[in-house]
Structure 1
Amino acid sequence: MTSAPAWLTRLAARDDLRDHAWFAAHPPPRSGARESAVLVLFGPGEHGVDVVLTERAHTLRAHPGQVSFPGGGVDPGDDGHAGAALREAQEEVGLDPEGVDVLAVLPPLYLTPSRNAVTPVVGWWPEPAPIGVVDRREVARVVRAPVDDLLDPARRFTAVFGDYRAPGFEVSGLFVWGFTAMLLDSLLDLAGLTVPWDDTVERGLPDSVMSPWMRTLAEHGEGA
């Protein structure tokens, strides 16, 4: 079995994440939010430590084609947020929950448009096994993205859509933006891994990651 890297164990042990700018800016409301969880799963890969990402099916009504972590809503029978994240990962990519060491349950983040309070669950996969798409109606592709690629300044940029400007990544043929990119950016920063990159390099969203309403805005110049 491969032990988790020191930077990941240090990250998981931090108790000040609520003070980080992004976490502090997105606390969930006291009530009314839907509870969900995502699994940020790291493991040893062919090119160093990698993280599991999924490309959502392009036929979905919500966030078609966008890159996300395995995850979803918390069900009454789940063992908390960690249990929900592991169950969703099993359903989406065929992950065996028994093979995952849950290192930390991070503070929840509120996504205003969907009214979701999303709790990131950080895990380590000491002995990775094959994973892949379980249901193509939900997931188009599963990728284990090398952390070194995510840190590469040449793969980093500012994603732009209308007034929206936030970190983005190009990795393994995926355009990573939005919540997933912000969470990756924050965790890499908190782990002390971030390499300086040029945030003046801006890239608009490709059509493949835009939902119909976003395409409509772009066509009318509102998302340009």
Structure 2
Amino acid sequence: MIVIFDWDGTLCDSVESIVASMQVAAAELQLPVPEPAAVREIVGLGLSQAMAQLFPELEEGLRQELAAAYSRHYAAPERTRTPLFPGALATLETLRGRGLELAVATGKSRRGLDRVLASLQLADFFDATRCADETRSKPHPLMLREIMAERGKSPTEAVMVGDSEYDLAMAREAGVSSVGVSYGVHPSARLASHQPLAIIDELPQLLELLPLQS
């Protein structure tokens, strides 16, 4: 079995840094500063898709400028050390000890994911990773299909863990079971509409749902 995790808001406590970076970038370009709730709504999407949803009236050139400003602010030293959620690393290590494969499917860019994995000394921890700038963005299922193909897994041998309905919609479209986490960007009622196996309040609860070995 392979357990595929979303990153921001699921494993990594980074949502507030994303919100702050987006707000600073918008202010820098003298654009309307989005409310935190609006930014949280787009966490999990690829950056170009997120910008289109957050600023639908903005012309493409200015959207690209805003995306570059956001990326610059998010990569600033004071924002790069976003921690894992409590119990996340121990949960990952326990799952690996049970013989399960681990992967990440994220709306982050490849550069952004590699940077944060390196900062957390997890660069070689996962068996596979996919980012939105190298495949289709969530909720399209291609990201999951590519991970499963790379690792030789069928949909019945995979589970997706995420905090947004984009994660769970992607899993459902790919024929993969899912588990929602209640502490991220989307409320439990929205996650429940995608029929996950369960919605958990903290990541270590995942250990009760998954088998002892692959």
When normalised by structure 1's length, the TM-score is 0.28
Structure number with higher strand proportion: 1
Task: Answer 1 or 2: which has greater helix percent.
Answer: 2
Q: TM-score, normalised by structure 2?
A: 0.28
